[in-house]
Amino acid sequence: MRRWVKALLAVAVVLGGLVLLTLLTSTLYRIPSSAMEPTFHCARPTEGCESDTMDRIIVSRVWYRLRDPQPGDVVAFRAPERAVIACGGVPGAKPVFIKRIIARPSDRWREQNGFIYVNGERLDEPYVEPARRDQETIPERTIPEGEYLLLGDNRSMSCDSRRWGTVPRDNLIGPVYAVYWPPGRIDFR
């Protein structure tokens, strides 16, 4: 067999192995609502969507076994029952939501005129566009041990922890690390 054929086969085996490893350690999801616009796109005719094609993402199921979740991570999580009810879902359903971790256990947080403060410091949130910020004011609260505050990037359209409370660590599936569809929006994080 020629040297270049062997090299090509070796590359194909390595790439195939990487794809298999990714599939075994990850889960694929789609973005059904505008809560994370413009970070991730949902598809029209859903209110607030900017695209005709919804983003499809890859979430690591093993990353949080290697390190703790961090503020700023965009994560997939199993929605608590109170979130399902508050967001108009079917009680008993087990939907997966995509939101951004804003604060972690024991942090103090509040919202003032649409801006989030954690431990007294206003967050720099370049991912929240001014037109997508709400004007809410929520008094300071402390996040319980083992729980996280999760908010959508499109604050004015997001049903999130501000409405239904914090999310237990055990509900976190993992961080989003890639958009794989549509082709024009492929991105690795």
pLDDT in the model for residue 117: 98
- For tokens 């859903």, name the residue: 46
pLDDT in the model for residue 17: 64
- For the chain, which ranges sit under pLDDT 70? 16-25
pLDDT in the model for residue 10: 72
pLDDT in the model for residue 7: 74
pLDDT in the model for residue 97: 95
What one-character-per-residue DSSP string does 92-143 give?
A: T---EEEEEEEE-TT-EEEEETTEEEETTEE---TTS-GGG-----EEEEEP
pTM of the model: 0.87
pLDDT in the model for residue 26: 75
Q: Quote the DSSP letter at residue 146.
A: T
pLDDT in the model for residue 114: 94
pLDDT in the model for residue 24: 56
pLDDT in the model for residue 88: 86
pLDDT in the model for residue 20: 61
pLDDT in the model for residue 78: 95
